[in-house]
Amino acid sequence: MEFTFYLSGAIAVAATLMVITGLNAVHALLYLIVSLLAVAIVFYVLGAPFAAALEVIIYAGAIMVLFVFVMMMLNLGKAAAAREQDWLTPGIWAGPAVLASLLLAELGYIFAQGGTAAGAVAVTAKEVGIALFGPYLLGVELASLLLLAGLVGACHLGRHEDVHHGWDEDERHENG
């Protein structure tokens, strides 16, 4: 099981490096999903299946949907749609597909071996809740404020204002 821990860690690091160094936001989102799934497998191998499930549901699910919505809000029209078609060529999926298939094979190996790492003690939902809302409450609240600030910033950047400062159609024709 030690091998699965190191393989998942290496995949997480490689995918995260591709997120940081990538020039395309869509590619970065794909690699970020792979990175989050790899971290979830690390949690599972260490004996925290609840934390692994939270990682998949909250981060790889909900937060990534939020990022996709932000990308959709920042859509700039037909030119952006044509550019997105170029981004989604089959070759783009090769890197994340290889890393995700490695994670899938690793997950199959973990289940075939019996689950978690030898000697790992399962962390319950109650223990996670006590930790998050006990000594780490300030960190959890600061993270939620950071996500809220990112959402407000994305809404502000994605808002399209009328060039004529809110005039309606009739006022534009009357004023010239």
What pLDDT, in 10s, does the model give residues 43-101?
A: 888 888 888 888 888 887 777 777 777 776 666 666 666 766 666 677 777 888 888 88
Shared domain for 137 and 52, answered yes or no, is no
Residues 117 and 150 placed together within one structural domain of the fold? no
Looking at residue 92, the DSSP 8-state letter turns out to be: G
Residue 171 lies in a domain: no
Within-domain flag for 165: no
Same domain, 115 and 146: no
> Does a structural domain hold residue 174?
no
Domain that residue 137 falls in: 124-160
Tell me: do 102 and 137 sit in the same domain: no
Give the other-Cβ count within 10 Å of 122's Cβ: 12
Number of domains in the chain: 2
Whether 173 is covered by a domain: the verdict is no
Give how far Cα 37 sits from Cα of 44, 53, 103, Å: 11, 10, 8
**CA distance linking residue 35 with residue 99, whole number of Å:** 9
Q: What is the DSSP string of 108-170?
A: HHHHHHTSS-TTPPPPPHHHHHHHHTTTTHHHHHHHHHHHHHHHHHHHHHHPPPPTTTT--HH
For residue 104, tell me if it sits in a domain: yes
175 within domain boundaries: no
Whether residue 56 is found in the same domain as residue 138: no
pLDDT tens per residue, range 37-57 = 999 998 888 888 888 888 888
Instruction: Residue 104: give its domain's CATH number.
Output: 1.20.120.1200
55 & 131 share domain: no
Contacts of 115 (CB under 8 A, 6+ apart): none
Q: Is the pTM of this model over 0.85?
A: no
For the ranges 2-11, 24-33, 135-144, 154-163, the lowest mean pLDDT is seen at 154-163
Same domain assignment for residues 71 and 135? no
* 118 shares its domain with 44: yes
